[in-house]
Structure 1
């Protein structure tokens, strides 16, 4: 197994360029901030971006927790990659990560200054310092289950690479921008009553939903499960109606709160008959 490393100070754009480096050097997996990433999937690990403190984030990135390291080691044994890219702030950090994951020391150490211009590095530093934003080299759909409750935004980037022939090739990469927990100037909390109002509002955007009640929220490792009871107007087929309500509740709740909604479970407890049907049954 070949190991290569991308080294540079925090906030200089290593994660932003990780997919480009992996592509150019044939690395099949990336180890970055506690995560093992293959293609468009986070296949193992715990994100340092989820930690409450900067010290906790550093420990996570270094795989100091034995269970964390073991999970990544086991996945590496399954994947059997021919080349691994490790990201770190220094050669010493990269070497420690390799040792903890029982990987060979890197054959090649790339410095961020070798692949990014001074102006690009300066811009990356300003974004980190002023906005506290970090990049994870994986798409949002893979990141959100790992970082439920952390604000995320998709980032689509096109890199240009000049070929030996003189022509240019384009590489599009799908990444995620996050604002980690330890980077907030304070903490934000969302009361359950506020979440319930968001859920009710989303569900009742459908005129066929008369009432929403008994909302129960469950927290699981992957994110949040929503359970709720509905009173629905009789007349339309249930499957398409309830599918639409499920999808709307999930979209609105995720958009407004940054939670990762794993499931929306709907229980129809009561039907409301149209007035003409009520009269028909009343005279029957």
Structure 2
């Protein structure tokens, strides 16, 4: 069996990218948070995200329970797994998992920085810190929803570059994820409006729409001041840069899209 490791701190998006990355390097199975996933489908194991506290979640993830360990080892033989990606928070953790499951030595070590951009990692961390959301790289229908008292929702479908479906993700709020900072959507809108108003070309901000999901987007409609004795595209681009800089300064990640619509221009009243 060829064994690969993917590690990185919690909340950096390893599970979000796992299916696409495994397919890219030609790996058929994944070990993630106590689950054995083969070709995008859970075939054995119990997710650590079902646990009530962080300590039992870690124990579940590293297969300290004998029944759990034996179930996954039996499935590895049943499905004749020839290649596997072990996911953990560190090399030490993935080595421990590989040892517990008797997978053999890890051939190659990958890190979250190898498969995700810094921008993606920053946004994933922010979502974890402010929404407490965790991603499971298995279909929604395979998540035992009675384990969760809070959010369980469909994530996204994962496709190859040729638009062949690899699998899908599910978003959950585990019981042990109780500490996170909730930020009201209006806070984002107010910051974006304030950033725009600081620019001397802006007469009025008419409307702002903010979306934080797979992509973080801001759509801003505004009026410009008269007279317009400058290049509008150049100054609007500078406005986008100012908004991006302010947003990053306050929230620690960048917006994916900043769409600015100029509706009109008015003479400033004396």
Query: What's the TM-score bracket when you normalise by the shorter of the two chains?
Result: 0.5 to 0.7
| Residues in 2 aligned to 1:28 and 1:171: alpha-carbon distance in whole angstroms | 15
Is 1:62 the equivalent of 2:62?
yes
| Residues in 2 aligned to 1:158 and 1:73: alpha-carbon distance in whole angstroms | 27
Q: Which residue of structure 1 aligns with residue 170 of structure 2? A: 176
Q: Which residue of structure 2 aligns with residue 35 of structure 1? A: 35
| Residues in 1 aligned to 2:113 and 2:12: alpha-carbon distance in whole angstroms | 9
Instruction: Give unmatched runs, 5+ long, in structure 2.
Output: 181-270
Q: Which residue of structure 2 aligns with residue 82 of structure 1? A: 82
| Residues in 2 aligned to 1:146 and 1:62: alpha-carbon distance in whole angstroms | 23
Alpha-carbon deviation of 1:40?
3.8
Q: 1:145 to 1:62 in 2, by over 3 A?
A: same
Alpha-carbon deviation of 1:180?
0.6
TM-score by length of 1: 0.59
Alpha-carbon deviation of 1:149?
4.7
Match of 1:127, SS?
helix
Match of 2:129, SS?
helix
Q: Is the 8 A contact 1:42 1:143 kept in 2?
A: no
Alpha-carbon deviation of 1:170?
4.5
TM-score by length of 2: 0.62
Alpha-carbon deviation of 1:92?
0.5
Alpha-carbon deviation of 1:144?
2.8
Instruction: Give unmatched runs, 5+ long, in structure 1.
Output: 162-168, 187-284
Q: Which residue of structure 2 aligns with residue 155 of structure 1? A: 155
Q: Is the 8 A contact 1:30 1:85 kept in 2?
A: yes
Q: 1:143 to 1:98 in 2, by over 3 A?
A: same
| Residues in 2 aligned to 1:141 and 1:116: alpha-carbon distance in whole angstroms | 27
| Residues in 2 aligned to 1:133 and 1:44: alpha-carbon distance in whole angstroms | 23
Larger Rg: 1
Q: Say what the alpha-carbon RMSD is for the aligned residues.
A: 2.0
